[in-house]
Amino acid sequence: MKCKDLDEKARREYKSVRYYPFGNSASSPFILTSDPLGYLIAWLEQKLNSIQRDSGSQRNKYVKAIYFTQLAVDFNNSAQGAKMPSKGTLIYYSLINLVKVYLIINGYDLETKVEHHGLSLPPTYKEKIKLTSQTGDYISIFHEFAKTLGKPISPGGSDIKISDLLRSLPEVHELGYALELFPSSKRKYLPVEIIIRTKPPRTKLYYTIAYEKKFDTQMKTDKLVKGELKKIITKIEDLEDDPNRCYFKSIMKISYTKKSEKSWNMCYPKLVTDLKRLNIVSMLSRDGYRHYIDLEPNRMHRLNSVLAFAFYLGTVARYRPTLNEEILKGKYQAIINEAVTSIPNQFFYLMTSHITSQVCAIPKAKLD
């Protein structure tokens, strides 16, 4: 079997149908912007201005969302001119205000209850933080964020280790291993190519996954043929003209009508949901969105891990000067410096995409 023998890529309105986790449609336009939060404010204002008749609830939702987005922008602008540790606090407040926008757009009426971060840093804790209890008449921003992302915080104790958080941030994952910060574990983010395919006469949709065989020695790739994952994908025989990659195809195949918008609106979300079961993590680069299978998924969504990491930095800066010295000048110094540089903008693009249900990317990114 050769590459040419694989079925053709599925297309919708002359564009390749690609996997994105943002609630977008199969033919959703790409939004290329150098200023994702600026675009988000414009999108929210357009939604607000399009409301002609309203009792006040819808209009108020967008007014609040614009308010918190502007706070996120202002805190981020302040962070650009600040140094650590102050920078960590400003980054956290920028991120959590954007999380509030996401919750508001998804139906949460903030201001009606006491709001809690959902995390704490007890005086005896150094390299870990604590999940707060959800009991009580208040909104835990951290927990509700997790629920709305579709990955509620799973059981596993209330402590979150900072080393686990750092290992769960794909932006600095490779750097952490280069610095030997996680000596007792293997790399866990497997780079994969995802292609949504259709077989003539174009009545069925499925997807293929491919990765480079060199990762077999670096990661636990055998997990792809074990446990729950083997119920989702099945291995394809090695391709003669691509011997350096392993291929898998989805067990699920979905019937669809190529020219029917209704059919696409029903089928594409099913493909996305099935792919999410593989613990796919997406990261934006100059080459477009890159996808990874998390072979050892954390009990938290990747964006929750980012928020928890920022909370830790911000809280240490405000309340723990001694610990701040240990952390910023200790073994995590380089990876923290890289994280505070690279993660916020990544978070802004991903969150803007989730809020608008569109695919927001860096200009000139290769998206097709």
- Tokens encoding 320: 């723990």
pLDDT of 365 strictly over 90: no
Residue 226 CB neighbours (<10 A): 9
Q: What is the pLDDT of residues 233-278, one digit of tens each?
A: 999 988 877 889 999 999 999 999 988 999 999 999 999 999 999 9
Please report, rounded to a whole number, the percentage of residues in the chain having pLDDT higher than 70. Answer: 98
Per-residue pLDDT of 323-364, as tens digits, reads 999 988 889 999 999 999 999 999 999 999 999 999 999 986
pTM of this structure: 0.94
Q: What is the pLDDT of residue 15?
A: 86
- Neighbouring CB atoms inside 10 A of 91's CB total 28
In this prediction, residue 366 has a pLDDT band, given cuts at 50, 70 and 90, of low
Q: How confident is the model at residue 169 (pLDDT cuts 50, 70, 90)?
A: very high
- pLDDT score for 13: 82
The span from the CA of 315 to the CA of 307, in Å, is: 12
Summarised one tens digit per residue, pLDDT across range 23-66 is 999 988 889 999 999 999 999 999 999 987 776 678 899 999 99
Q: What's residue 20's pLDDT? A: 96
Tokens representing residue 60 in the block:
């108020």
CA distance 49 to 59: 9
Give the per-residue pLDDT at 111: 85
Mean of per-residue pLDDT scores for the chain:
92
Residue 168: what pLDDT?
Answer: 94
